[in-house]
Amino acid sequence: MVNRGPIIHVRNLVKKFDDFVANDNLSFDVNPGEIFGFLGANGAGKTTAIRILCGLSKPTSGEIKVAGFDAYNQVDSIKRNIGYMSQKFSLYEDLTVYENIRFYGGIYGIKYQEIKTLAEELIEKLGLTKYRNTLIESLPLGWKQKLAFSVAIFHKPKIVFLDEPTSGVDPITRRQFWEMIYEAAHNGITVFVTTHYMDEAEYCDRVSIMVDGRIEALDTPAELVRIYQTENINNVFIKIARNPDRMTVEK
Partner 1 sequence: MISIRAEHLYKNYGDVQALDDISFEVGKGELFGFIGPDGAGKTTLFRILTTLILMDKGQATVEGLDVVKDYRELRSILGYMPGRFSLYQDLTVEENLQFFASIFGTTIEENYELIRDIYVQIEPFKKRLAGKLSGGMKQKLALSCALIHKPVVLVLDEPTTGVDAVSRTEFWDMLKKLKTDGITIIVSTPYMDEAELCDRVALIQHGQIMKIARPDQIIEDYRKKLYAVKTNNTYQLIQDLKQFPGTNTAFPFGQSVHFTPIDDSFKINNLSAFLSQRSHQNINVQKIKPSVEDCFMELMAKESVNKRQES
Q: Which residues pair with 193 in a beta bridge?
A: 37, 162
Q: Which is nearer to partner 1, 102 or 174 (CB)?
A: 174
Q: Does residue 198 belong to the site contacting partner 1 (CB under 8 A)?
A: yes
Q: Does residue 130 belong to the site contacting partner 1 (CB under 8 A)?
A: no
Task: Determine the Cα–Cα distance for residues 161 and 196; give it in Å rounded to an integer.
Answer: 15
Contact between residue 104 and residue 151 where contact means Cβ atoms under 8 Å apart: yes
Binder among 9, 116, 196, 214 for partner 1 (CB under 8 A): 196
Largest CA distance in the chain: 55
Q: What is the CA radius of gyration of the chain?
A: 18
Binder among 4, 109, 133, 249 for partner 1 (CB under 8 A): 249
Q: Does residue 247 belong to the site contacting partner 1 (CB under 8 A)?
A: yes
Give the binding-site size for partner 1 (rule: CB under 8 A). Answer: 41
Identify residues 141-160 at the interface with partner 1 (CB under 8 A).
141-142
Q: Which is nearer to partner 1, 228 or 237 (CB)?
A: 237
Shortest CB 53 distance to partner 1, Å: 20
Q: Which sign does the torsion angle of CA 183, 184, 188, 193 carry?
A: negative
Q: Does residue 170 belong to the site contacting partner 1 (CB under 8 A)?
A: yes
Helix-helix angle 141-152:97-107, to 10 degrees:
20
Q: Does residue 172 belong to the site contacting partner 1 (CB under 8 A)?
A: yes
